[in-house]
């Protein structure tokens, strides 16, 4: 028995595999995916997924974390963090999540699982091969500590291609567009349903490229444009009109950094600046979020507004938990303006993938879309305009990577 694990920035899934086929495990009640979130209640074991998010939003005492995958390969992995006043290493925190996923896979399999193919982005960290290698090795050690004896890795867009290959009627030259919470990854690959279970497929993979931009960056940039100005962003203080530190707001708008703001020193610093603020009514809102350790709640509201703008032209973010009657209107045009730079970088990386593959746009016969952010109208339009004649495959956007990793575990370990 083997498994494929998609440990995602935003969502995760596990598929088990044997000679009878590949199957996604239920990881939370009947759900086959769960948010990559965890909550440490006071004096109780950690809780994962939607249950973690519910405890946090309901105001339970404890420590909430999300998007921990983005810490891999960074210096923050070396520092660890305080969890309910107890020092914890991020290896152990992430390891608890991986162990939770392993347990769910074994519950479906009815036996221990020692073999795993784990998905990874084309680049954990852009432009830093050393950090990229370190990130994979960190994840390998974490998986081995969780009980996996045999660990392999596969690029996430290639895994998504394997999942879609089994449903094709004929051979296609495909471009996989995998936009997740933390990265955007691309693969040009020849897909052939007749060869879907063959072991050697390196010659079919024509090129890969990726960038560390994803849905979390969309959340952040929408927050910076539409939310943070209401909390004192780009205001100043004191007789010399000094700018309020921009890092306060950037960190409050990034899932993986919010928790690092909750220190006594930071709270004192904000209080000192607030005394001389030229916009105290705005900065006081920031202080309330900080003192209440409600940064994740604020960013979750921004994320829900982003999702609403997939179908709506305008939405309203209710921030009454900060201040009565405080709400912010956001439009799809605002959102597209906020992420324009991100989409431009995604487009450039996509073009890089084509160039590395020595493939022209018009040769692409199929685009495979996976990952929640590919629902973004701005991004879907970009893909459609680049490949107007190509077919589109976009089933199982949140689970196709895990399914593909399950298929790859058979290729890797059962051959």
Q: State the pLDDT at residue 200.
A: 45
Q: Which alpha helices (H) appear in 166-263, and where do they start and end?
A: 215-222, 246-252
With a cut of 70, list the residues of the chain below it in pLDDT. 195-202, 415
pLDDT, tens digit, 9 for 90 and up, residues 146-199 = 999 999 999 999 999 988 887 888 899 999 999 999 999 999 999 987 765 555
Q: How far apart are CA 137 and CA 383, in angstroms?
A: 33
The predicted pLDDT at position 318 comes to 97
19 contacts: CB under 8 Å, gap ≥ 6 = 414
- C-alpha 76, offset from chain centre: 17
Task: List the structure tokens of 342.
Answer: 């991100």
Helix (H) or strand (E) holding 48, with range, is: strand 47-48
Domains of the chain: 2-167+395-413 (3.30.420.40), 172-394 (3.30.420.40)
User: Is residue 56 within 8 Å of 252, Cβ to Cβ?
Assistant: no
* Strand pairing category for 47-48 and 37-41: antiparallel
Cβ neighbour number for residue 77 with a 10 Å cutoff: 17
Answer yes or no: are the C-beta atoms of 159 and 166 closer than 8 Å: no
Quick check: helix, strand or coil at residue 320? coil
Phi, psi of 309, deg, nearest 5 = -75, -5
| H helix or E strand, kind and range, residue 409 | helix 400-413
What is each CA distance from 177 to 79, 118, 180, 368, 395, in whole angstroms? 34, 19, 10, 6, 13
Cα 56 to Cα 74: distance, rounded to the nearest angstrom? 26
What does pTM read for this prediction? Answer: 0.90
Question: What is the per-residue pLDDT for 414?
Answer: 83
Q: Which residue has the tokens 């086929």?
A: 21
User: In whole angstroms, what is the distance from residue 128 CA to residue 1 CA?
Assistant: 35
pLDDT at 198: 55
Tokens 């920031």 label which residue? 286
Contact assessment for residue 63 and residue 41, using Cβ atoms and an 8 Å cutoff: no
**Distance of CA 390 to CAs 165, 169, 383, 385, 398, Å?**
16, 15, 10, 10, 22
The C-alpha angle with vertex 392 and arms to 372 and 302, in degrees rounded to 5, equals: 20
């Amino acid at each position: 028995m083997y498994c494929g694990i998609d440990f995602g920035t935003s969502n995760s899934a596990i598929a088990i595999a044997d000679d009878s086929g590949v199957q996604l495990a239920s990881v939370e009640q009947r759900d086959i995916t769960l948010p990559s979130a965890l909550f440490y209640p006071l004096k109780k074991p950690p809780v994962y997924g939607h249950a973690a998010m519910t405890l946090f939003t309901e105001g339970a005492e404890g420590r909430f974390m999300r998007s921990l995958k983005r810490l891999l390969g960074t210096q923050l992995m070396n520092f660890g963090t305080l969890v309910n006043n107890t020092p914890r290493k991020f290896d152990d925190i992430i390891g608890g999540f991986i162990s939770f996923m392993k347990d769910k896979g074994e519950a479906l399999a009815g036996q221990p699982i020692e073999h795993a193919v784990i998905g990874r982005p084309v680049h954990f960290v852009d432009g830093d091969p050393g950090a990229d290698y370190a990130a994979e090795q960190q994840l390998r050690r974490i998986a081995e500590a969780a009980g996996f004896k045999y660990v392999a890795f596969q690029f996430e867009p290639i895994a998504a291609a394997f999942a879609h290959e089994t449903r094709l009627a004929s051979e296609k030259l495909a471009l996989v567009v995998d936009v997740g919470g933390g990265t955007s990854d691309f693969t040009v690959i020849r897909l052939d349903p007749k060869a879907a279970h063959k072991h050697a497929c390196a010659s079919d993979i024509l090129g890969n490229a990726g960038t560390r931009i994803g849905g979390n960056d969309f959340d952040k940039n929408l927050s910076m444009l539409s939310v943070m100005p209401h909390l004192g962003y780009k205001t100043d203080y004191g007789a010399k009109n000094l700018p309020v530190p921009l890092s306060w707001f950037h960190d409050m708008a990034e899932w993986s950094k919010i928790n690092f703001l909750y220190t006594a020193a930071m709270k004192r610093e904000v209080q000192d600046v607030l005394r001389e603020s030229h916009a105290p009514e705005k900065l006081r809102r920031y202080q309330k979020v900080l003192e209440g350790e409600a940064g994740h709640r604020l960013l979750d509201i921004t994320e829900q507004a982003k999702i609403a703008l997939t179908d709506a032209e305008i939405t309203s973010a209710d921030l009454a938990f900060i201040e009565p009657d405080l709400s912010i209107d956001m439009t799809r045009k605002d959102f597209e303006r906020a992420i324009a730079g991100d989409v431009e970088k995604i487009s450039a990386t996509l073009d890089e993938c084509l160039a590395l593959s020595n493939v022209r746009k018009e040769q692409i016969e199929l685009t495979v879309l996976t990952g929640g952010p590919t629902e973004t109208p701005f991004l879907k339009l970009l893909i459609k305009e680049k490949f107007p004649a190509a077919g589109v495959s976009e089933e199982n956007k949140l689970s196709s990577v895990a399914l593909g990793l399950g298929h790859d575990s058979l290729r890797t370990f059962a051959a």
